[in-house]
Amino acid sequence: MKRSKKSKPVESIRVCEDCGNPLVWTFIHAGCEYYCPSCGAMGDMFIGNKIHYPRKALIEKAKRIKARFNRYRKGLWSGGGRKRGCELCDKGEYHLQHLTPEEKKAHEAGLRGLERMKTCKGR
Ligand SMILES: [Zn+2]
Ligand SMILES: [Zn+2]
């Protein structure tokens, strides 16, 4: 599924209650749709503060954070993720329970990347 709303103006951005940086929408943590790559905060779809018609600087920041997050996110498997066409997943396991060595490496690299993204601890 591809989203095609590139030209749509940004109406709102959700920012972290703890550090004020933009949140990302993700499913890497089961039950937590929003994640803050800047401080590691996460929660359901109601966390954070919604900024309506954000300034350009905030939009740019959100884009940067999202792009970097997506780079690390690629190799990550969420606790509740299943891989299409995977035999063991079809049997009911989560893919995280039986990663191949390469997938495990990519997963761990992704986790380390997310750790490095946390720049504003305690702010
Ligand atoms: Zn935060
Ligand atoms: Zn699997």
Name the residue among 16, 24, 10, 18 with its Cα closest to residue 49: 16
* Higher pLDDT, residue 74 or 38: 38
Please give the distance, rounded to the nearest whole angstrom, from the Cα atom of residue 84 to the centre of ligand 2: 8
As a whole number, mean pLDDT of residues 99-103 equals 95
Ligand number with the minimum distance to the CA of 85: 2
The per-residue pLDDT for range 15-53, each reduced to its tens digit, is 999 999 999 999 888 788 999 999 999 999 889 999 999
Residue spans of the domains in the chain: they are 12-117
The model's confidence at residue 112, banded by pLDDT at 50, 70 and 90, is very high
Q: Is the pLDDT of residue 122 over 50?
A: no
* Integer Cα distance of 100 and 102 in angstroms: 5
pTM of the model: 0.80
As a whole number, mean pLDDT of residues 88-105 equals 94
Name the residue among 56, 66, 63, 83 with its Cα closest to residue 25: 66
Please give the distance, rounded to the nearest whole angstrom, from the Cα atom of residue 21 to the centre of ligand 1: 6
* Sequence letter at residue 26: T
Please give the distance, rounded to the nearest whole angstrom, from the Cα atom of residue 34 to the centre of ligand 2: 25
Please give the distance, rounded to the nearest whole angstrom, from the Cα atom of residue 104 to the centre of ligand 2: 12
